[in-house]
Structure 1
């Protein structure tokens, strides 16, 4: 029980042992004697991008950054002003970090090379050892409605001897060094994981200007009766997908109740809720989009890494492990089912 002061008011409790993202990254680096610090510096650059995008989103309506910018990106979506700003910001931050050799963005048709023979100046840097893929603002069509949007990122390390080429990014998710996403909602939430590591969640403290560790070692519940899918596409689903989702609407053997439906329509927001509470998120391939709708490099693969490292699963519409899917080109697409381990097992049972 706390002690009140003379006025009868409980004094503010101050936590002096705050784990910031900066501290967390430094401590992780210290666990690896072979670490050069380049990966840590790259993550600091990413952190700056996330803070900046969060700032612009908070001020978007005040300074007229919502609305269309008058062009479309490579996947045919109308670009929002914030999409353009966030993309330009991401490019410049990755360029100036000196640690990123090449960048793939949803908003750019081609790979952007910062070092190596393909770069603008043809120069390479011994420190630019990473390839980054990102979706600067995922779910941007929801911006004007104030719905949560996010940034998804994936980090690969260049092959030994490479100075940066397409092959360094066109790899399966099993080769990822790190991945995660930031969700910009009532607060900015950053979720990050590294190869073979745990999943950790941070919340941006706007007063301190720091991401604070608030969700250490995130773990998915093994099962949960919640599903998240755009049922407006059900006309185009194949029979196995229809049968699976229809089964969720029936009384379940264990409690006699159907699953609850929760769908926001912003992948980052739906994924974050699923990560916290369990259940399943799906965007299946269908007759309208035979390969699927979501992009492998900067949506499916990084999310799959997060969910697997948190004890869940992620598969494509062929029931193949999502992390083992090799993209054919930088904007290649896939269907996806991801969530609690037992829930994905249930999906698989309908596809056998």
Structure 2
């Protein structure tokens, strides 16, 4: 066995060797996606330098959304490993420009792009499916319907995190491994083998500003966490919110926790906010392979039947026992205390002063 760090290239080749008869096409595709991630990382780190001096400098994130999508398409569409691509930036499927490959790629080239303007973490998310054989054989054109399959049919999922270090987290259905970009050699190196999410946690991530729109089961859960050692949970919890799906996912993979972007009442026609095919499904695949769980509150995310390519769903994932608790609360929506006050009503800095004024 060769000495030194295990690069992503070596890792994917070794994975291929475990499957006799493999053509090498899959490992080549993963490395093409990794190359796109390296290019995107370089662009992201330039931040506001991109487009500096242009007439419209109002939105670095908007320019990078377009640019990073162009990078992903430019690196993968011609490679011969894909039959079609799907992303938020395109209304419908993009066909491969060369020969038809065995796979389909759904991706979000720049998740959390609104964080770019304030220099917070962002990333890319991707999901790989097998293409229908008739599409591979050229007997049919790639279509939206080819992507409308539940997450359990994914053959690979991953995300990159562009932070102080550029990370790539990957699963092919046999656990989760994390890689760090070594810029001196220009390669991703295995640094976080066999990542596991603790079953229990004392931390959760949610956008507290949306409290008034939450359904009762989520309000119940958050209230119980905020009551701390005096409440039914019997311990204190920490709350955080980065507004970057990949950043919160990596935090949960390394330290445990629960992420909640639940159904809310703002728009009844839009029950969820996270894209299913190129957001929730790949993250759910990774989380489950790391020992966690992922739910909409009512069903396992990876079993949700997609109805359209840009479908959005509620998304709750993380430490398994907390996810199971949330699911149980959704099955008994009228249980628990009333939750009529502010999130911080029971533990506010101003509670004593307000109480004194009333008495």
Which interval holds the TM-score relative to the shorter structure? 0.7 to 0.9
Indicate whether 1:101 and 2:78 are aligned.
no
Indicate whether 1:182 and 2:160 are aligned.
yes
Give the Å deviation of 1:262.
1.4
TM-score normalised according to structure 1 size: 0.86
Match of 1:121 in 2: none
Name the stretch that deviates more: 155-164 or 27-36: 155-164
Indicate whether 1:219 and 2:201 are aligned.
no
Match of 1:341 in 2: 320
**Counterpart Cα distance in 2 of 1:285 and 1:139:** 19
Match of 2:216 in 1: 239
**Counterpart Cα distance in 2 of 1:200 and 1:344:** 22
User: Are the equivalent residues in 2 in contact too, given 1:21–1:202 (CA < 8 A)?
Assistant: yes
Identify the structure with the greater helix proportion.
Answer: 2
Give the Å deviation of 1:98.
1.1
**Counterpart Cα distance in 2 of 1:135 and 1:98:** 20
Match of 2:305 in 1: 326
- Counterpart of 1:293 (choices 266, 270, 273) is 273
User: Are the equivalent residues in 2 in contact too, given 1:205–1:212 (CA < 8 A)?
Assistant: yes
Secondary structure, aligned partner of 2:133 = coil
User: Are the equivalent residues in 2 in contact too, given 1:157–1:168 (CA < 8 A)?
Assistant: no
Give the Å deviation of 1:125.
3.0
Give the Å deviation of 1:64.
3.9
Could you say what the CA RMSD is over the residues aligned between the two structures, in angstroms? Answer: 2.3
User: Are the equivalent residues in 2 in contact too, given 1:67–1:81 (CA < 8 A)?
Assistant: no
Q: Structure 1: where are the runs of 5+ without partners?
A: 1-14, 73-77, 116-123
Residues 66 and 53 (structure 1), Cα distance of their counterparts in 2 relative to 1, 3 Å cut: farther
Give the Å deviation of 1:68.
11
Residues 242 and 67 (structure 1), Cα distance of their counterparts in 2 relative to 1, 3 Å cut: farther
Q: Structure 2: where are the runs of 5+ without partners?
A: 137-141, 332-359
**Counterpart Cα distance in 2 of 1:141 and 1:67:** 20
Indicate whether 1:230 and 2:193 are aligned.
no
Indicate whether 1:151 and 2:124 are aligned.
yes
User: Are the equivalent residues in 2 in contact too, given 1:65–1:81 (CA < 8 A)?
Assistant: no
- Counterpart of 2:7 (choices 5, 20, 25) is 20
- Counterpart of 1:87 (choices 69, 75, 92) is 69
Indicate whether 1:129 and 2:102 are aligned.
yes
User: Are the equivalent residues in 2 in contact too, given 1:229–1:283 (CA < 8 A)?
Assistant: yes
- Counterpart of 2:253 (choices 258, 275, 282) is 275
Residues 255 and 330 (structure 1), Cα distance of their counterparts in 2 relative to 1, 3 Å cut: closer
**Counterpart Cα distance in 1 of 2:292 and 2:42:** 32
TM-score normalised according to structure 2 size: 0.85
**Counterpart Cα distance in 1 of 2:17 and 2:24:** 9
